[in-house]
Amino acid sequence: MPGIICGHVARSRIGKSNGGLGGAGLALAGLIVGYFFLALQVIGFGVVVPASRGFLEKATTLNEALQLKNAIGSYFTEYRKYPFRELSESQVYRSDAKLMGILLASDLEAAKTGSNPRRIPFYSGRRATPIGKGRFRSGVLTDADGGGELWDPWADYYYVKIDADGDGQILGPNGEVIKAAVIVWSAGEDGISGNEDDVTTWEAD
């Protein structure tokens, strides 16, 4: 930018004083250099902004995934059981209304016959943003009865697996053995679970 300004000033002075070819050449060179660096800045901005957005999305995803994992752990500590009606080591659960209704203490789940009769809200997070066609991103979509759904930044539910048999380990989405009681992950931008762009809680532990 300074090169552009100086170049324009020099050209203006040359025009007023009938400056020689050397001065005009220097002014033109200043303009070329200035516009060149301006172009580099614009290109750099175009690269940095998407990269920054991707970093923020992954950071948000990991934070929500860890919150969900901790919420499930807190529920287990309180009730000495997991917030799922059917327990299976191989079952992949989702952060849909079934799970989140329990963790958010919906009216249904807070009833005497529900899974959270003490009405303890184990999860709290920001409100999800609607993106159309019944889909949402980055947060909780709450229901009228206090329940809801937890969406990741790419408009999908989170994945959850638990150590149902109590042996201290879980098989991950690619069959890897993970030493944990609960694991949570997002399928990432491509929406395919088990790919390298997944955002996982066990890699952050």
- Residue 107 in tokens: 């009216």
Report pLDDT digits (tens) over 133-144. Answer: 999 999 999 999
Domain for residue 173, yes or no? yes
Question: Number of C-alpha atoms within 13 angstroms, CB side, residue 184?
Answer: 21
Q: How far apart are CA 163 and CA 153, in angstroms?
A: 26
CATH classification at residue 126 = 3.30.700.10
Domain for residue 38, yes or no? no
> What residues make up the domain containing 117?
47-200
- Residue 12 in tokens: 């203006």
Domain for residue 159, yes or no? yes
Report pLDDT digits (tens) over 108-149. Answer: 999 999 999 999 999 999 999 999 999 999 999 999 999 999
pTM (whole model) above 0.85: no
* Residues of the chain by 3-state class (helix, strand, coil), percent to 5: 40, 15, 40
Q: How far apart are CA 101 and CA 86, in angstroms?
A: 15
28 — pLDDT class (breaks 50, 70, 90): low
Q: How far apart are CA 104 and CA 17, in angstroms?
A: 77
Domain for residue 41, yes or no? no
Name the domain count of the chain. Answer: 1
